[in-house]
Structure 1
Amino acid sequence: MAADGNASQLVGIVTLLGAAVIGVPLFKRLGLGAVLGYLAAGLAIGPFGMALVTDAQTIIHVAELGVVMFLFVIGLEMKPSHLWGLRGQIFGLGSMQVGLCALLLTAVGMAFGFSWQVAFVSGAGFVLTSTAIVMQVLAERGDIHAPHGQRMVSILLFEDLLIVPLLAIVAFLAPAQASDNAVAPLLQRAGLALLSLAALVGAGLWLLNPMFRLLAKSKAREVMTAAALLVVLGAALLMELGGLSMAMGAFVAGVLLSESSFRHQLEADIEPFRGLLLGLFFLGVGMALNLQVVGQHWPLIVAGVLALMATKAACIYLVARLTRSPHRVALDRAILMAQGGEFAFVLFSEALKLQVISAEVHANMTAIVVLSMALTPLVVSMHKRWARGDALQLDGVEAPEDLRGTVLVIGFGRVGQIASQGPLARGVQLSIIDNDPDTIRAAALYGFKVYYGDGARPDILRAAGAHHAQAILVCVDDKQAASRIVQNVRRECPRVQLISRAFDREQALELVRSDADHVVRETFESAMQMGRLTLQAIGVDDDEASGVMDEVRRRDAERFALETAGGLFAGRALVLGNIEHIPPPQHDKPAQ
């Protein structure tokens, strides 16, 4: 009997994996994206398709850990200072969008003939956008760290924080006989939530880094992987016990570890689990689409999907335009965030338990949310094709494809043009990419072949030949873009020589901490030359002036080395001006 049970479980696992292996490549080949491939595969093998796998809710519950791990990885890339800088977007933009959408979606529900209580719960559930779908699409496009991507991430974070207040509102809306036990512990829930959050922050500040340093000394890679999973799942469990979102707990844990020297190791350890579980989540959502309910109430469900998605999209577009986003960005946000999300299932289940909504409304709204999630990747793909001609004028501009240059230059403005002269003089083969079509066309007039691409995207790096290059020059004039590029290059190509331009000392320190081999401060050498000329102008002879400036250079290099985390990066040579300074003797580096 036990053998039969094990075989049955193994059949289910093989079926899930087989559906993903077949469905995802097929849909990506059709240009429809991985998310829609997972959803379609789940629908095909689920209880309302071929019925090869029947327990969709269990799969969704387990696979929600994929969303949790995704938020942990995003948190690792957001330092507390950066998150603090987003506070206006999180609470300002987030509350504006959520408040207006909730009001309009409630009005849509009342227009369908429901009471205001049922309409509010249905609308509030649909307000909660799918973190999994939005983050997956942003990751595929490489837009998570772009300004418009950061705004969407901020709104998603605010929506994750809303789940507890919304559950409290549902308890107040419940009939007296159902709400007696629900309203009483509201203060207790709020206190427990704050206590859980405080415990997580305390552990992140004082326990996690010492724990990883201790484990790194054991040099057991599997233990580090286990510790990474422990941190993610432990943070998620703590937040769930406190009544908050599991994904929010993982995100906070990631932010607390974002400045840790173990950040890249943690991200590498989590990545395989994140991708697999996130795919499993989308499979489960596809399986959960109840075709019987859709068949019985299809006019209401189809009308509900169209009305709610159109209203939410219009509201998001309006808020984006009111906050001065350009039309293209506002339309992209509206299309990408117009669906309901996974937290709607939690809200609807609680409302059903407290008799705020009926079982029929629960089934219909669940189907509406699942259909909206399934439609989103398709709508995004269609919009991408239709809007391709409006995004940028790319006449005469080519994207990179399987380049093989010895040196890859990212950014071909003033710095990139000058920095490339040395390699060109030695006959070195260059690959050059830039994300400004005008720069590319101007360079072509002088005989330079520059390809169009964003160096912050891993797929563009691969197409531009980053894995084949001996050296990569990061010459972009955007501080945040340069930091993202350096981090992606180091993650994708750990052995390549990485030379990056830095705007100032602060950014130079950040780039060194991201493992750039050489960092050049763009104003340093010109300022040193001006200092030398000043000494000569007041009568100091050439040799003495050179000696004074060399001493200034030496002291600056020493201060810089001390600031780079006490010698953690001593294995890297840092270019300060046009000379190399080798930091103090190398110490044992923590396991990476």
Structure 2
Amino acid sequence: MSAETNASDLVQVVALLGAGVIAAPLFKRIGLGSVLGYLAAGLAIGPYGLKLFSDPQAILHVAELGVVMFLFIIGLEMQPSRLWNMRKDIFGVGALQVGACIVALMAVGITFGQSPIVAFVAGTGFVLTSTAIVMQMLEESNHLQTRKGQRIVAILLFEDLAIVPLLAIVALLASNGETVSLLERLKSVGIGFAALAALILAGRYLLNPFFRLLAKSGAREVMTAAALLVVLGSALLMETAGLSMAMGAFLAGVLLSESAFRHQLEADIEPFRGILLGLFFLGVGMAVDLSVIAANWQHVIIAVIAYMIVKAAVIYGIARVLGTSNAESLGRAMLMAQGGEFAFVLYAAATAAGIFDGETNAVLTATIVLSMAITPLVVAVYVRLAPKPQVDTSGLAEPESHEENVLLIGFGRFGQIASQPVLARGYTMSIVDRDADLLREIGKFGFKVYYGDGSRPDILHAAGAATAKAILICIDDKEAAIKIAEIVRQEFPMTKVMARAYDRGHAIDLLKAGVDYQIRETYESALNFSNELLQVLGEEEEMAANLIAEFRENDLERFALEQVGGIYAGRSLIKGNAQPADIVAAKTGRDRERRAAEQAAAAQGAAT
């Protein structure tokens, strides 16, 4: 019996993975987005499709961790100063939009014959936009870090915060006028504030020393486990205090946003986030109860249309009143017109409190799920039909070169010296290193250096390699430097790569790996040392300089000849388009001339 159960579980796991792997790329390829693909796949394998799953709520319960991890990663991008700069969007635009939508959607419910309390709770649930869907679609469209994307993120943050007072209001409405103990209310508020304070203090004083201690162990799996511990522990603390798990994860991300371990954390969490978020959308697709929709299809369809149209109209109107452009207002309205996953929590609380009966809860839940399912389709249609905005660049100056980004991997003695003139000139530089003690020391001097393994593609992406103008490999480890060079050349083929080489053999290997420029770490200092030595020995300054120049030329020729098959030709170390064969011929000719001169001198000496 146990073997049969295990086989059944394995079939479900394979079905989930297979459905996501097939549907998401397919829907994205045809322009409908991966979210709609996951939803369709969930519907196909769920209770009303192939019946491989009978309890989609169990899947959703686990998959909600994907939303939690997503908000943690968003928090890592939101430094406290940046969040403070967004306060007007969060508490201004966010509060205005939520309040106006609640009033408008409550009016829709009353129009359909609902009691004021039921209409309020039903409308309020639909106001809470799906953070998972909106964030995923913003990320896929590369709008997450734009100004309009950040405004939407700010509104979503306010909606996440709003779930706390809304749950309290539901509990108050369920009391049917009975007096709620003031002490109980103060106790709940106090627990919430205590949990927030504990999380902030832990993030401020404990997390960085904690990760530094773990980094010294050198165990990569321990760092991954610690990252998961921080995310899930923060979420658990907030949920235990009666707040939102997502809010706890977001705050943890914000508190770690200025940590030197930020990129490492993001890279460790990203695989879990992606899988669980896809699982969440699969669960939402499974949760579409076709029997409820079939029995109440008129109510569900009318509710979806009415709620989405009214909510979109209110969002658009508020955006226009606040001076947002027509295109951005329409885009925000289309993207945020659906209900969200927090509505399930609110409706469940209302049902438990007796505000909703079972049928009302089922119909409203189906309304939310259906609105979430059709949102990617609505947005895809809007994107195709909406006129493409024309960017006016008149009167704008061209970007200056010093605004380009540089990624430096390895901040040891070589990287520190190489970075100083670049930083002094005003170029922006992202620095990645694995030495936790070094990070702690140089952090005192204001350097923004992040902990991470530069040989991992996910770390490179998180550190901004995709947008860097140049990537500098300045680490001590020869094999790791070659590996990084190969990964960078494969992942970012258009980016210039410059590397520090340990010795001649390492320099050749780096060039084979595809770097654009390399220099042996002791080469220039040794030549300068030799130049000074020649002068100490009595040589004239000009003679010493000529000897050093001749050595450079000979070394350059030997370096080119030592490369297998002339791998490196015509790049920065060989001037012009000379090939190794040309250099051989030139050197052979000079050798002949030198030997002829020596023979002539010897003959002249003999004659004398």
Q: Provide Cα deviations, 1:1-49, integer angstroms capped at 9, x if missing partner.
A: 2222211111111111111112112211221100000000000111122
Asked if 1:327 is matched to 2:326, the reply is yes
Distance 1:85 1:506, change over 3 A: farther
Q: Which runs of 5+ in 2 are unaligned?
A: 410-417, 434-441, 455-471, 477-483, 485-608
Question: 3-state SS of the aligned residue for 1:390?
Answer: coil
When residues 350 and 565 of structure 1 are mapped into structure 2, their CA distance, relative to the original with a 3 A threshold, is closer
Q: 1:542-553 residue pairs with structure 2 within 5 A?
A: none
Give the deviation of 1:563 after TM superposition.
3.3
Structure 1 residues 112-156: Cα deviation after superposition (integer angstroms, max 9, x where no partner): 000000000000000000000000001111111111111100011
What amino acid does structure 1 have at the position aligned with 2:390? L
2:429: which partner in 1?
512
Report how far residue 376 of structure 1 moved: 0.5
Conserved in 1, the CA contact under 8 Å of 2:432 and 2:451?
Answer: no
SS across alignment from 1:391: coil
Could you say what secondary structure the match of 2:324 adopts? coil
**Partners in 2 of 1:103 and 1:566 — Cα distance?**
48
**Partner residue of 1:266?**
265
Structure 2 match to 1:313 = 312
Q: Is 2:79 aligned against 1:44?
A: no
Say whether 1:390 aligns with 2:358. no
Structure 2 residue 272 is matched with structure 1 residue 355: no
Name the SS for the 2:227 alignment partner.
helix
Stretch of structure 1 that moved more, 164-173 or 267-276: 164-173
CA offsets per residue over residues 166-196 of structure 1, 9 Å max, x none?
A: 111111211549x788997333222111111
Q: Does 1:9 align with 2:23?
A: no
1:230 aligns with 2:215: no
Match of 1:415 among 400, 407, 413: 400
Counterparts of 2:182 and 2:400 in 1: how far apart (Å)? 63
Match of 1:419 in 2: none
Check 1:16–1:326 CA distance in 2 against 1; reply closer, same or farther (3 A cut): same
In structure 1, C-alpha distance between the alignment counterparts of 2:431 and 2:312, rounded to whole Å: 38
Q: Secondary structure at the match of 2:260?
A: coil
Pairing of 1:193-592 with structure 2 (within 5 A): 193-387=192-386, 389-392=387-390, 413=398, 415-416=400-401, 511-514=428-431, 562-564=445-447
* 2:45 paired with 1:60: no
Distance 2:104 2:137 in 1: 26
Preserved CA contact (<8 Å) 1:44 1:50:
yes
Bigger shift: 371-380 or 21-30? 21-30
1:22 and 2:15 are equivalent in the alignment = no
Question: Residues 567 and 342 from structure 1, CA distance in 2 versus in 1: closer, same or farther, beyond 3 angstroms?
Answer: closer
Compared CA separation, residues 414 and 14, structure 1 to 2 (3 A): closer
User: Structure 2: which amino acid aligns with 1:355?
Assistant: G
> Whole-Å Cα distance in 2 between the matches of residues 155 and 486 of structure 1?
33
Q: Provide the rounded CA distance (Å) in 1 between the counterparts of 2:237 and 2:265.
A: 20
Instruction: Tell me the CA shift for residue 512 of structure 1.
Output: 3.0
Aligned CA distance change for structure 1 residues 99 and 210 (closer, same or farther; 3 Å): same
Separation in 2, partners of 1:243, 1:567: 34
How far did residue 390 of structure 1 move? 2.7
- CA distance in structure 1 between the partners assigned to 2:111 and 2:170 by the alignment: 21
In 2, the alpha carbon distance for the partners of 1:560 and 1:98 equals 41
When normalised by structure 1's length, the TM-score is: 0.69
Q: Deviations over 1:186-219 (max 9, x none)?
A: 3322211111111110110011000100000000
Per the alignment, residue 564 of structure 2 pairs with none
Offset at residue 228 of structure 1 (A): 0.4
1:40-189 equivalences under 5 Å are 40-174=40-174, 176=176, 185-189=184-188
Aligned residues: 439
Gaps spanning 5+ residues in structure 1: where? 395-410, 417-474, 477-481, 491-498, 517-558, 572-581, 587-591
Give the secondary-structure state (helix, strand or coil) at the position aligned to 1:11.
Answer: helix
1:512 alignment partner, SS class = strand
Q: Distance in 1 between matches of 2:397 and 2:15?
A: 49
CA distance in 2, matches of 1:227, 1:283: 28
Q: Please, what TM-score do these two structures have when normalized by structure 2? A: 0.67
CA–CA distance in 2 between the matches of 1:560 and 1:246? Answer: 31
How many Å apart are 1:392 and its aligned residue?
2.8
C-alpha separation in 2, matches of 1:60 and 1:567: 34
Deviation at 1:561, TM superposition (A): 10
SS in structure 1 of the partner of residue 388 of structure 2? helix
Rate the CA distance shift 1:106–1:567 in 2: closer, same or farther, 3 A. closer
Partner amino acid for 2:285? G
The equivalent residue for 1:547 is none
| Residue 302 (structure 1) shift | 0.2
Are the counterparts in 2 of residues 175 and 355 from structure 1 also a CA contact under 8 Å? no
Gap change, CA 1:41 and 1:568, over 3 Å in 2: closer
Mapped to 2, the partners of 1:180 and 1:414 lie a distance apart of 64
Shift of 1:359: 1.1
Q: Is the 8 A contact 2:260 2:450 kept in 1?
A: no
Letter aligned with residue 259 of structure 2: S
Once residues 210 and 237 of structure 1 are traced to their aligned partners in structure 2, the CA distance between those partners, rounded to angstroms, is 22
Alpha-carbon distance between aligned partners in 2 of 1:562 and 1:486, rounded to the nearest angstrom: 19
State, as a whole percentage, how many aligned pairs show the same letter.
57
What is the CA-CA distance between 1:562 and the residue it aligns to?
3.9
Kept in 1, the 8 Å contact 2:335–2:379? The answer is yes
CA contact (8 A) 1:97 1:316 kept: yes
Letter in 2 for 1:512: M
C-alpha change, 1:30 and 1:159, in structure 2 (3 Å) is same
Q: Which moved more, 1:352-361 or 1:335-344?
A: 352-361
CA contact under 8 A between 1:105 and 1:308: conserved in structure 2? Answer: yes
Aligned-residue Cα RMSD (Å) equals: 3.3
What is the identity, as a one-letter code, of the residue corresponding to 2:94? Answer: G
* Structure 1 residue 415 displacement after superposition: 2.9
Is contact 1:513–1:564 with CA below 8 Å preserved after alignment? no
